[in-house]
Every structure is written in C-alpha cells, then in structure tokens.
A and B are shown apart, each in its own frame.
Chain A
C-alpha cells in the first residue's frame, strides 16, 4: 500500500468514531497491540523531542525499504506514533521524503493533532523524514 492509501485507510477508520474520546480509545487499542518494541532500545538517541511524554522511533532498513519501530511511555502518544510509524513503514526512503501529505490536515484527532499540540506529532513526522533523508544522501 502506498502512503496515500494507508492514510485514506486510517481516515476511514477514524471517521467511524464520533468523538475524541472514542478516537483516543482506538489509539489506546493500537498502543496495546504494539508490544514488540525491545525495551533496550528505549535510548536517548532514539527519543523524539518535543513530546509531552517520552516517545521513541527506531528506523530499520530492509530490502531497500524503511521500517519504523516505535514506543512511548504514554498510551495515546504510543497509539499515535504506532499509527504514524505504520504509515511510513515498508516504504522507500525517496517516497517518504517526497511525500507531501499533511497528517494534521488529513486526520481529525482532537488536540493531539491540532496546531497547538503540533510539537509532538510534528516532531514524530520530522524524525521519520530526517531518517529517510539521511539514507538518500
């Protein structure tokens, strides 16, 4: 699936939930499903700055594609980073860098994706793009 297709898929899912509370609950479910992050990778150099909670993103390259492993000590942030990581995982670095989809515009996710909280989600996206950029250059 392309990044666009994955975003559209998630949009469909998120639209099912009538309010922020149920959207957060969905993210909490996603967080709980993501239990594969090795705790020894909770390292400072994998930390995403600018979040309310601690968030980690670890890139991995396989068959010329990038994959992201993610974690957080808070559930909603972990759900969010899991979702974002899955959108950009299994993609070529060039496709991640050139992709211009603005998740803040696409998703309605209450305050966690509102401009006021841009910091957290924005930093997650920035981190992913920076990893991708490093691979190209």
Chain B
C-alpha cells in the first residue's frame, strides 16, 4: 500500500474543491486524471523542445523525434512486444478500431465473411465493424453474455468457422469489470478459424499487466488518456508481419517512401500508418505516463486494483435498494455498474455530485448491453491508482443519502 498512500499529491486535480467537498473521482473508466510528471513533460516540450518530428535537420527537431520514437520503445517493454516498430500511434481506441476495421476488411475480407464481436462491446468496437460490414457485405455475430456477466465461450466456439475473419473482443468490460480469459479465447479462435484476434484494451491496459506475446493475440488497441496520459493519443500494437501486410487507411505526409504524380510507395511500418504530423507532444506525455506506471510497477497497480475491487464488493454489494452490475469471477476490474429501481441514473449522479462524487451516468457507450439487461441507464464507479478505500466509503454514504432523497 505504501506506494499508493500519498499518491493523490502527484495529481494536482485533487487540490480542487467540488461544491465544498473534496473531490471523490470515480470516473477513471471515462478518463484518468494526470500526474504532474505528465503535465510537466508536455509543458517542457512546448516551452523548450518544440519542433515537428521527422522533418528537421536541426537540434530541436532531432530531440523531439528522438523522444517521440523512444515512447515506442517504452511501450515495447510495457507490453512485451517483440519490436518497437509494432507500436503505432493513433488518436485513441476509437480511431484504432476504425483503422483496423477498414484496413483488415479491405485486405482480408470479402462478401459473406464473418466478424465476431460480443454482446458487451463498447460502441467503438461495434460501429466501425457495422460500417465496414455494410460496405463489404459482411455479417457480424455477437458472442452471448452469461447471467454472471461472463462471456459464453461455448457460444464463441459455435460461432467460429472458416468464414470468420476477425474476432474483436473487449479485454475488460467497462461496465461490469469482467475480465475475459483472453488466452482461452485465443486458443478457441486458433483451433476453430483463421481469424485475426483483436483485443480492445481501453480498460484493461491501464489496470493490468499485459504481455502481448504471452496472450498470443494479433492486435491490441488502447487509449492514452485512460492510463494517466493526455487525450488525443492511443496505440495499436500488432504483430509485425500483419502490420507489414496491411495497407494504410490515411494518406499524407510522413507515411510514404516515394511519391510520384500517379502513385506512391509506403514507408515501412510503423510510419506508413502515421500520416501527417503526429500528436508528438501527446505521445511524449504518454511516455511520461508509462514511466509513472512502470515506477509504481504494474504488478503493484494490479494489486491495488484488486484491493479496491474486494473492498468495493464488500461495501457496495449490499446497499439497500442498489442493484450492482459487477463480474462474479474472482479476478475482475474495480468497476461497478449500479442502478436503483425507480430512480433515474441522471438524478443519482447529479445528487452524488453535490457530495463531490464524480461518477458517470448513462449507457457508457454500451447501449446494446444495457438493452439486453433491460435497463435504460446506470451509474458507474471506476477506481484507479489514486483512489482509496475512503473514496469507496464516500461513494457509499453519498449513495445512501441520495437514494433517500430521490425515492
């Protein structure tokens, strides 16, 4: 616990006062807060190092280019990728999935092929596939979710076939905290199809140690802003030979080798996928976030998350009148979807806000999953490294008093 004891001091936002209360921030699933080291790093670049990457032959540009590229190496070690060239920067998970959907469909899919997703996917892992499915006449199948919020892997097996070209599944549910068994999914996919396996790591990567080689998957996508980094930057990790075989979706500067008026040849991976000026300041900021997490140690981050999850289970599961959507597996994220019969989620979150408690209300971009559960909207509490048991206690007492007022 010691590393986490005074951790809020590293995050200036916690100096804020919200409606006369201290801030109890439990919406890290939407975005995380930023430590000074990330904010300072970005300020430092703008103040003292700023120059466009890859273009200049002068000191400043050489420095930013070096820093930008070094972030790939940080991710290589963070994810245990085999090469730093396997790291491609994007705007975030959403753009990453749009890119993969378009590039993969264009290269590997034809009319009648199948895409397999699950019933609990975030809209970012549904809409891009629906768009390419319409364009290329593909069909989408959704793996069923069980009563206990786990994925029905028998259903996955039965849906896999030689027609399946892509399986794209969430690595950690943003509503229930459920962690699917990715290795098992990988085994099933390999045994029953030749599909590419993509993991949406938006919620997983910030919280748990991920070893892409050990998992055996083909692609991992995630957002920087949910793991202490800035907005506007995210990552696609992919196996090198697959990245080599895919074509870019965006064209422009910096992604070409040679350009003629009638054609062009692509630069090698990763640059062929990074058209135009990349968000290099954000990437470098994200590098500082990775350093911060590495200093804590991802196994410590996991342990802290597990402790908060256990405490959350103890404290939140038996509040009178509050229904909880949360994984029933031993290991899960510290994410709790909640709803109260007869009380609207929007009212609940407005009331919680008057206690300084920030949670998300709505369908959290998993509308089909809500519909399946027969609920309009939920509130969601997601904890991260800077949260502690006291935050969960505050949530509980604020919930009790809010529900009382709204009933």
Residues on A facing B (Cβ under 8 Å):
19-21, 24-25, 28, 52-53, 73-77, 110-112
Contact = CB atoms under 8 A, between A and B. Distances in A.
B60 interface: no
Interface string B376-387: 110000000000
Given A19-B354, A21-B354, A28-B406, A76 B347 contact: yes
Given A28-B405, A73-B344, A75-B406, A52 B361 contact: yes
Given A53-B377, A74-B344, A75-B347, 5 more contacts: A20-B353, A52-B361, A73-B344, A76-B347, A110-B350
B344 A20 contact: no
Contact of B344 (A19, A53, A110): A53
Nearest to A120: B346
The 10 lowest CB-CB distance pairs between A and B, nearest first, are: A74-B344, A21-B354, A52-B346, A74-B346, A53-B346, A20-B354, A74-B347, A75-B347, A76-B347, A76-B350
Contacts of A75: 344, 347, 406
A28 B406 CA distance: 8
B232 interface: no
Contacts of B351: 21, 24, 76
Contacts of B344: 53, 73-75, 77
Contacts of A20: 19, 353-354
Contacts of B347: 28, 53, 74-77
Interface residues on B, range: 10 to 19
25 contacts: A19-B20, A20-B19, A21-B19, A21-B354, A24-B351, A24-B405, A25-B405, A28-B405, A52-B361, A52-B362, A53-B346, A53-B347, A73-B344, A74-B344, A74-B346, A75-B347, A76-B346, A76-B347, A76-B350, A76-B351, A77-B346, A110-B19, A110-B353, A110-B354, A112-B350
Interface of B: 19-20, 344, 346-347, 350-351, 353-354, 361-362, 376-377, 405-406
Contacts of A73: 344, 376
Q: Interface centre among B19, B347, B405, B406, by most A CB within 10 Å?
A: B347
B263 to A, nearest CB: 46
Nearest to B348: A74
Contacts of B20: 19
A74 B344 CA distance: 5
A18 to B, nearest CB: 10
Nearest to A111: B353
B403 to A, nearest CB: 12
A52 B344 CA distance: 10
Contact of B19 (A19, A53, A76): A19
Nearest to A23: B354
A10 B405 CA distance: 22
A28 B187 CA distance: 53
A1 B317 CA distance: 51
Contacts of A21: 19, 351, 354
A95 to B, nearest CB: 31
Nearest to B362: A52
B237 to A, nearest CB: 34
B184 to A, nearest CB: 38
A74 B339 CA distance: 13
